[in-house]
Structures are given as structure tokens and as C-alpha cells.
Amino acid sequence: MTSVRRIAYITGTRADFGLMLSTLLSIAGEPGLALDVIATGMHLFPDYGNTIDEVRASGLNIAGIVPIEAGPPSGGLMARNVGRMLTGITEQLEASRPDVVLVLGDRGEMLAAATAALHLNIPVAHVHGGELSGTIDEPIRHAISKLSHLHFAATAGSRERLIRMGENPDNIHITGAPGLDGLVELASTDRSALFSASGLDETRPTAVLLYHPVVQETAIGAKTIGWMLDALEQSQLQVLALKPNSDAGGQEIGDVLDRRASSAGGPVVMKHVPRADFVSFVRHADVLIGNSSSGIIEAASFGTPVVNVGTRQNMRDRNDNVIDTPGASKAQIGEALNLALRQGRWPSVNIYGDGKAGQRIVGLLRDVDLHTLGAKVNAY
């Protein structure tokens, strides 16, 4: 009888879970594979939308929940919670003993999971390694790559960087970005219904604003989000703004959004939008502004113009629909915003893949010979 290979996926945010959901469902439905989900991080807190409810609603098997410390976002809290997640995830993995631990991206929960798995002699598969950003995300992402045995890279450039980092080329596979799988079909919410339910006017030009803190730049986050809101108001755009993540500096950005939302003509601010509605907003929006990876990766599939502000996505592979601005003044942001609006929609071409990443990842998880992954050594 063929044994079932167990895959454990660690999720900490609405973002990673939404990007991976279609792939996770495919893993769970694949003969020969079984999926365990370990949830932690922002999922567990009301301030970030209690998105553990969405994880439960997916029907996927939740093998464990790892609590962390709540409190005002800070670098210290982030570091302490990596330690808490390392302890909790280690206990979960010891109990379930999966064959592979699957992680995505560059956040602390993924670093904790990869560290735990390595010490438990469990192979780690990493999605979206080899990408650049230049902020705290980058060293964490590369650290996860160095802890990982199997790499699911989104682009050829990412694969080449992983090779230059000393990873074994035989274990690096270009799968594309899982977040593109089924994306256009998912973004099917009718504009009229979507806008009406959110208190927006479907006849007005609209911007989606999603701006996360940069840990090394916490002192300027509130000022920058204020400039973005000023520029959007000057361009007479109505704004749907999502609250930022739980990184240091996020509370200050959220406070600015709340204050502006209470004024006449201010943005509509939401803690969380279900992924189908979020990508529908991106599809219908006249512009996406901020520093989210959604602007770098997903928006191009709809041809939506993007104004990428600041350093958070610095040097990352991007599509032609992205206009970068340092965001050092309201004038800089306004100039980039006006250029994006003048250029309008772009062809729906996306360097991050063809929407078939999930099937490639499932095939590799199912078929790879785990014994060949071996101990971690540099290939150069």
C-alpha cells in the first residue's frame, strides 16, 4: 500500500493564506498527499479581522494553533513572538511529524517554522524565495531559503539568485506565484454589489490603498500615509483603505487611517476584506497605491495601474504596470499617482506566472524523492 505523504503548512496572516489557499486545497485533495495547517500570528487577533475564522471556513485540517503575545506593534514584540512561535510550532511538528513543512515568503512565523523543521530533520519547502526587497523582509526571506531544502521560485530571476546563494540547482523549481492561480475567476464580484456593500460610489474613480510599515522606517510611516491620502484627495479619488499588518509602526499608520476616515470624504477603512472581494476591488480599481506585494504580483493580471511607494518592494521583479516613487513628499506621490491615472489600464500580462503554480507545487510535493534532499550544504 502506498503511504500518504503529510505536508504541514504554517500560516500567520490573511495575505499568505489567501495566496496559498487554492494550492492548499489542491494538496488536500491530491491522492497520496495529506495536509495539516498550523495557524498563528495575525490570524488570532480581532484587530486584524479574526481571520482564523477564514482558515476554519476553508475546511482544511487545522492541526494546531500557536498563540502569540498581543500588544502594540514593535520590533521587540515581533522578535519575542518569533521565539514563541518557534516553541509552539516545534511542539506541533513533534506531535504530527509531517514529511515536509511548507512555508511562504518572508515573515517571522515562516522563519520560526523553518528553524523548527530543520532541527527536527523535516525537509522544508519554500515558496517565493530568491526575491529582493531591501527591507527587513529580505534577510528573513534569504534566511528561510538557507534553511530550506526545496524551492518553489516564482520567476527565473529568483531561481538564479537562489543558485548564486549556494542552493542546489536541482532543488530549485520555477513554479510561478501561487497567488495567481484562479485569480481572474476569483475576482468575479460585481462592481455594483461590491461598492454598494462597502459604502462606495460605483460611478466614481476609485483607489485601493494598502500600505504596510517598514520596520527600519517606523518614524515616517504615519507621515507617508498622510501624504498618500492628501494626494488621493487632490486627485478626487474615493479610497478603500485596508489596515496595515502587525509589524512595528503599523499602529501609527492605522491611527492616521482612522482619523481620516472620520472626516467628510475620508477613506473607507476596513480591517480585512475576504480575498475574493479584495481581488475584485483590485480588478475594478482605477489605481492601487501603497507598498503591498499585491501591487507587484497580482495587479498586473487585471492591468490595474500601481503606484508603489517607498522601499518595501525595492528591487523586486515587477511588471510594466508599476510606477515607483520614493514617497518622500506629497508632491512626489501626487506626481506618480497622476502619471498612473493618465496611463490607465495595462495589458493583462504577468511575469509572475501562468496561473498553474499550484499544480506544479502539488506534483513536486507528491513526487520528489525526499531522501535526495539530504543535509544542507552550499552548492558552490
Same domain, 28 and 142: yes
> Is 285 domain-assigned?
yes
Same domain, 222 and 267: yes
Same domain, 19 and 137: yes
> Is 378 domain-assigned?
no
> Is 377 domain-assigned?
no
What gap in Å lies between CA 380 and CA 376, rounded to an integer? 12
> Is 350 domain-assigned?
no
> Is 380 domain-assigned?
no
What gap in Å lies between CA 369 and CA 336, rounded to an integer? 49
Beta-carbon contacts of residue 8 (< 8 Å; ≥ 6 apart):
35, 36, 37, 38, 63, 92, 93, 96, 98, 100, 101, 102
Same domain, 197 and 234: yes
> What letter represents residue 261's amino acid?
A
Same domain, 172 and 278: no
Query: Exposed e or buried b for every residue in 68-104, given b needs 16+ CB within 10 A?
Result: beeeebbeebbeebbebbbebbbebbeeeebbbbbbb
CATH number of the domain residue 283 falls in = 3.40.50.2000
> What letter represents residue 80's amino acid?
R
* Exposed/middle/buried for residue 157 (C-beta within 10 Å: 0-12, 13-18, 19+): middle
pLDDT digits (tens), the chain, 380 positions: 468 999 999 999 999 999 999 999 999 999 999 999 999 999 999 999 999 999 999 999 999 999 999 999 999 999 999 999 999 999 999 999 999 999 999 999 999 999 999 999 999 999 999 999 878 899 999 999 999 999 999 999 999 999 999 999 999 999 999 999 999 999 999 999 999 999 999 999 999 999 999 999 999 999 999 999 999 999 999 999 999 999 999 999 999 999 999 988 899 999 999 999 999 999 999 999 999 999 999 999 999 999 999 999 999 999 999 999 999 999 999 999 999 999 999 999 999 999 999 999 999 999 999 988 878 889 88
End-to-end CA distance of the chain: 40
Give the CB-side neighbour count of residue 313, counting CA atoms within 13 A: 25
> Is 348 domain-assigned?
no
Domain count, the chain: 2
Note whether 100 and 370 are within 8 A (CB): yes
What gap in Å lies between CA 52 and CA 44, rounded to an integer? 6
> Is 42 domain-assigned?
yes
What gap in Å lies between CA 114 and CA 126, rounded to an integer? 9
Note whether 100 and 122 are within 8 A (CB): yes
Same domain, 154 and 61: yes
> Is 267 domain-assigned?
yes
Same domain, 174 and 188: no
Sheet with strand 206-210: strands edge to edge: 268-270, 238-242, 206-210, 287-290, 306-309, 322-325
* Exposed/middle/buried for residue 199 (C-beta within 10 Å: 0-12, 13-18, 19+): exposed
* The C-alpha cell that represents 167 in the structure block: 542552493
H-type alpha helices, the chain: 14-29, 52-57, 75-96, 108-119, 137-147, 156-164, 183-186, 191-198, 221-234, 250-261, 275-284, 293-296, 330-343, 357-367
Same domain, 243 and 320: yes
Domain that holds residue 128: 5-181+355-372
